[in-house]
Amino acid sequence: MDTTLSDPLVGQVLDGRYRVDARIAVGGMATVYRAVDTRLDRVLALKVMHPELATDATFVERFIREAKSVARLAHPNVVGVFDQGAEGAYVYLAMEYVAGCTLRDVLRERGALQPRAALDILEPVLAALGAAHRAGFVHRDMKPENVLIGDDGRVKVADFGLVRAVGSVTNTSGTVLGTVSYLAPEQIEYGTADTRADVYACGVVLYEMLTGGKPHSGDTPAQVLYQHLNEDVPAPSALVPGLAVELDDLVASATARNPDIRPHDAVALLAQARQARAALGDEQLDAVPPQARGEGAPADAAPDDAPTDVILRALPRGEPEVHHTARLTMPPPSSRPPERPGPARGPLARRGVLALVVAVVAFLGIGAGVWYINSGQFTRVPAVIGKTEKDARRQLDRAGLEAGKVRHDFSETVPRGSVINSDPAAGERIRGNGSVTLIVSRGPKIVKVPEVAGRPLAEAERELRRVGLAPGMVTREFDDTVAQGSVISTDPEPGSSRSPDSAVSLVVSKGAPIDVPDVTGDFVEDATAELEEAGLKVKVAARRINSPHEAGAVARQSAAEGTRLAAGDTVTLTVSKGPRMIEVPDVVGDSIDDATADLEAAGFVVDVEKSFPFLGETVESQSVAGGDEAPEGSTVTIKIKGL
């Protein structure tokens, strides 16, 4: 049945400009239509927020504000936003229309992709997200449905409607929106989503492209969330034997459960992806996945209509009890698989997983108490506050306890990377061999950019990391006052307030500029000495060339005279093997003009000598006889007839 026939928007014109022609897709927040901008006569995509969400003024305000910000992301791999507006209950975005399909369509049809194809899709996705991350935004809902592949082969990232400013990543009392298969552990457990959450989602997408299936599966969203929190994403080669270890490493790096050991943003992951590609040969890049060889799709591939959309709400830290509610989008009863007993399970982890149990209970409408009964020998939790995470783990190990998962929180007093607290707290009794959660400092919630001007680059980068910021792009400029290799300035400026892990760009000195001298024609030893005295390095090319300069002299230099280089830069010298010997044309009896033209065309310099008084314009003799050889570029003198 064509559902667009019953859609009340199809056929309407919004704001007297956008004619809605057909419905393309329906998501958790909005419906996307193909429309025509009647003013500019162009096809575009119209994303219209669901009316029930449009009644929430705060949500609408954020949707509009963030849409305007994303519209400034001018990147070839980001779906462009043209306009925003509202008419009645309809709040909409007018966006670029991409004719083609989604990555989900490709995976549904083809299953696992060859590594080359997977990387060809991943890299432009990371380029788009990298531009967003460096502009201060997090996507928060990366999944194959939001990767568009145009008919012309271009890859674009869509649905930045869920983006959030990087500076507001912590959301202890807010809402985490996303799709359970791609949610990072910290999104589930703490309601936080910074650039590393997008990195995690991209790692899951890469796994899915390489294997054809999702890394975590289950009958309910709660089971999938539990696996995100407690199980590492498996190596793709475990499902597709023969995949290169570099691809396993790339997935493992992006999907590390501890966000601190993931690449800090999409730009960093893109660099790793390119390194992985460079390490692979054509045979590894073009390896045919199993289903393409007729071996069938992976057994754990999740159906496209599996329940995935989830909204979790987390109460502020410090509440005496943990109560989480969840809205789970389930398939209609007729399409649900028959219920069957789940696998036997031990006691769940004491932290975020409890939220999942209560979420399922809330969904089922059952009131129940969750009791955790300890038995056996007890010990007391040692004091680890103020210790580094590494030292705290050692101390717990000495006490016979296991260091469980690590949570991160802001602290104005405890340095970044040191322990703020533990759960259970120091001195509390815990069963022997029990697990202790460490709460580790992320540093202050707002970080001041330190003054690093004048410091060597490596030292400046260490200082930025120490205070909780990320070293960003490095550019180099000449500077007469700052030593080569030291920082000239930062962007943002020192003293600026930023959220932790924000990138700080560095301008590094190339030192005072050196004007390259002209050493062509000099012997190599003399030319080398002159360049090195100026502060430059010298490399002599292995291949020699013919030139007008004598053998052993410099025929050519890689940096021309007057070029500005930095101290320590290299100038390559090409050495002459002398001029070529060329046969001299016979021009006796020719006119001055003809003789000059013939000699110059042969590669000689012409000198005309006239006797006074002279009779005319005819060559009487030449300094090198016609038919003899002379060095290319040498001078041939012609004499004009006299009396």
Task: Please indicate whether residue 378 or residue 376 has the higher confidence score (pLDDT).
Answer: 378
In a domain, 272, yes or no: no
Tokens 């560095």 appear where?
A: 506
Which stretch of 315-329, 397-411, 556-570 has the lowest confidence by average pLDDT?
Answer: 315-329
Res 409: pLDDT: 84
In a domain, 195, yes or no: no
Q: How far apart are alpha carbons 637 and 206 in whole angstroms?
A: 74
Q: What stretches of 103-244 show up as alpha helix (H) in DSSP?
A: 103-110, 115-134, 185-190, 195-211, 221-230
Cβ pair 584, 626 in contact under 8 A: yes
Q: How far apart are alpha carbons 260 and 423 in whole angstroms?
A: 20
Residue 108: partners with Cβ closer than 8 Å, 6 or more residues away: 304
In a domain, 149, yes or no: no
User: How high is the mean pLDDT of the chain?
Assistant: 81
Q: How far apart are alpha carbons 149 and 79 in whole angstroms?
A: 11
Q: How far apart are alpha carbons 558 and 56 in whole angstroms?
A: 65
| pLDDT 10s digits, 154-184 | 999 987 755 554 444 434 333 344 478 999 9
In a domain, 413, yes or no: yes
* Angle (nearest 5°) at CA 185 between 133 and 149: 50
Q: Containing domain of residue 54, as a range?
A: 1-97
Residue 372: partners with Cβ closer than 8 Å, 6 or more residues away: 347, 350
Instruction: Assess whether 615 and 597 both reside in one domain.
Output: yes
Query: Which of the residues are catalytic?
Result: 141
Instruction: Assess whether 496 and 434 both reside in one domain.
Output: no
* Angle (nearest 5°) at CA 31 between 30 and 32: 120
In a domain, 523, yes or no: yes
Cβ pair 394, 436 in contact under 8 A: no
In a domain, 465, yes or no: yes
User: What's the rounded mean pLDDT across residues 192-201?
Assistant: 92
| pLDDT 10s digits, 281-313 | 999 999 888 764 444 444 444 444 343 443 333
Tell me 576's DSSP state: B
Nearest CA to 107 among 144, 65, 136, 69?
Answer: 144
Task: Please indicate whether residue 233 or residue 174 has the higher confidence score (pLDDT).
Answer: 233
Structure tokens at 554: 């410099």
User: What's the rounded mean pLDDT across residues 340-350?
Assistant: 37
Tokens 């869920």 appear where?
A: 162
Res 360: pLDDT: 39
What amino acid is encoded at 379 in this protein?
T
| pLDDT 10s digits, 87-124 | 888 889 999 999 889 999 999 989 999 999 999 999 99
For the cut 90, the answer to whether the pLDDT of residue 427 exceeds it is no
Structure tokens at 522: 């000099």
| pLDDT 10s digits, 544-576 | 999 888 899 999 999 999 899 999 999 999 999
User: What's the rounded mean pLDDT across residues 462-474?
Assistant: 90
Res 377: pLDDT: 53
CATH number of the domain to which 403 belongs: 3.30.10.20
Res 13: pLDDT: 93
Confidence class for position 340, pLDDT limits 50, 70, 90: very low
Confidence class for position 612, pLDDT limits 50, 70, 90: low
Count Cα neighbours of 548 within 13 Å in the Cβ-side half-sphere: 8
Length of the chain: 643
Res 26: pLDDT: 83
Distance of alpha carbon 299 from the chain centroid? 31
Number of structural domains, the chain? 5
Q: Domain end: 537, 560, 575, which one?
A: 575
By the 10 Å C-beta count (0-12 exposed, 13-18 middle, 19+ buried), 372 is classed as exposed
In a domain, 543, yes or no: yes
Confidence class for position 529, pLDDT limits 50, 70, 90: very high
In a domain, 534, yes or no: yes
Instruction: Assess whether 552 and 499 both reside in one domain.
Output: no
Res 317: pLDDT: 32
